[in-house]
Amino acid sequence: MIQNNIKENLENPRELERLYRLDKRAFETAFQQILPEIENHLLAEFWRIRLSEERDKDLFSRIKRYDIFALLVSAAMAALLIKLPALFGFDPDATYFLQRNAIWTAFFGLSLYTILSLRRFNIRKLIFTGVAFLIPVVYMNLLPILPFSHTINLAYVHLPLLMWAIFGMVYMDWDFTSKTKRIEFIKYNGELAVLGAIILIAGGALTGITIGLFEVIDIKIENFYMNYIVMVGLVAAPILTAFIVRFFPNISSKVPPIIARIFSPLVLITLVVYLVAMAVSGKNPYQDRDFLIIFNLLLVGVMALIVFSASEAASGSKQRFNELTLFLLSAITLIVNLVVLSAIVYRLGEYGFTPNRTAVLGSNLLIFIHLAWIMVDLFKVNFRKAGIKKVENTIAIYLPVYAVWTIMVIFIFPIIFGWWVI
């Protein structure tokens, strides 16, 4: 891991220079991540100044023609795939084209950009990637069109998770065993999510302004703009985000840790207040199905925040407040998870098994086990002087479990339950 190489060679300027020249971007990213740990070292201050001056000299000097080519080819491929109905003259709504292919197209474009930009042209791994993307897209498009089928709708819902897992393998260069690369992938996703949200907000504002300006002169462009500009923009936005993260790491890498540190205590307070309010109001997820759905969404969102915050905390210097906040947040979330699990078991006893209830039960059990494991590790970090890296390892070890469950829901549930329609 390059962070460890940098720390081990702080007394060896020649080796640090060699590491820098091998991969300047990776060196800079790793250096920024470990800077809080080594900032008192004289050579670290030298590299901080040097890297800062290199960035300020010319932000765009690192972008070559090939990098622009990789960006444009990937974006064009994603745009072409999402507009296949228009090219061949069939109705996307009648064939559920977007439900089946929009997420696949976005992650395929993102993976293609990763391969092109990093020049990963290993034939064997390219075949793995092609097969990994081909199987789900063929499978999803062969599913019957049954709008009220539970198993098919579950496949649609879980497809983004499967695509995310495949993209993760592409990003990690198909290295199944590296926990370090898994954590790097989580952090990379944090940067993509934050910067991508900003780009989407800006794109939404531009869309509103553009449509409004044309309405003023009595030209209706809504249909054209939504079908060709917005739709293409949505699948191309992740690729543009990846491009920015790659070449301007100083912009993208600083925001996610700040957001994690701000939102973790805010979410903790919100959860405590919400649980108290729920008890006072008398509302419960045992009888109210919609309430149970909201509880599940809350659980998944908070779990994602804990995983991301813990991985970010492991990158910086030890911060007692953040670590204690994450422990308390994991404990409160575990209580929420127990409430959700008990409500699901109750509904199973009352109404029996369905694909939806089985999927929710399985996912909540997986989250419960993972969350309990993380909470125990955070307890050791706060009260037994263990390192935060222990939490990071727990997160990395468990990620494949979610991928296996996702594959089961998409491919095995239709075999077990058939095209369940109620």
Angstrom CA distances, 320 to 40, 331, 378, 388, stand at 20, 17, 11, 11
Q: Do 347 and 222 have their domain in common?
A: no
Question: Is the CB of residue 318 less than 8 Å from the CB of residue 259?
Answer: no
Q: Do 245 and 179 have their domain in common?
A: yes
Q: Do 175 and 266 have their domain in common?
A: no
User: What type of residue is 44?
Assistant: A
Q: Do 361 and 216 have their domain in common?
A: no
Give residue 354's domain range: 254-417
User: pTM of the predicted model, to two decimals?
Assistant: 0.80
**Region of 218 on the Ramachandran plot (φ > 0 left; ψ -120 to 50 alpha; else beta):** left
Element (H, E) at 208: helix 179-216
Provide the number of structural domains found in the chain.
3
User: At residue 127, does pLDDT exceed 90?
Assistant: yes
Residue among 365, 370, 362 at smallest CA distance from 330: 370
Tokens in use for 366? 């997986």
Q: Do 233 and 296 have their domain in common?
A: no
- 321-355 pLDDT tens trace: 778 888 888 888 888 888 888 888 888 887 788 88
The length of the chain, given as a count of residues: 422
Question: Is the CB of residue 56 less than 8 Å from the CB of residue 48?
Answer: no
Pick from 143-147, 317-321, 374-378: least confident: 317-321
Residue among 308, 345, 300, 299 at smallest CA distance from 326: 308
Alpha-carbon gap, residue 271 to 278, rounded angstroms: 10
User: What type of residue is 346?
Assistant: Y
Q: Do 119 and 166 have their domain in common?
A: yes
Exposed (0-12), middle (13-18) or buried (19+): which is 129, by Cβ within 10 Å?
buried
Report if residue 422 sits inside a domain: no
- 266-295 pLDDT tens trace: 888 888 887 788 777 766 676 666 666 777
- 222-271 pLDDT tens trace: 888 888 888 888 899 999 999 988 887 766 666 777 777 777 888 888 88
Q: Do 148 and 294 have their domain in common?
A: no
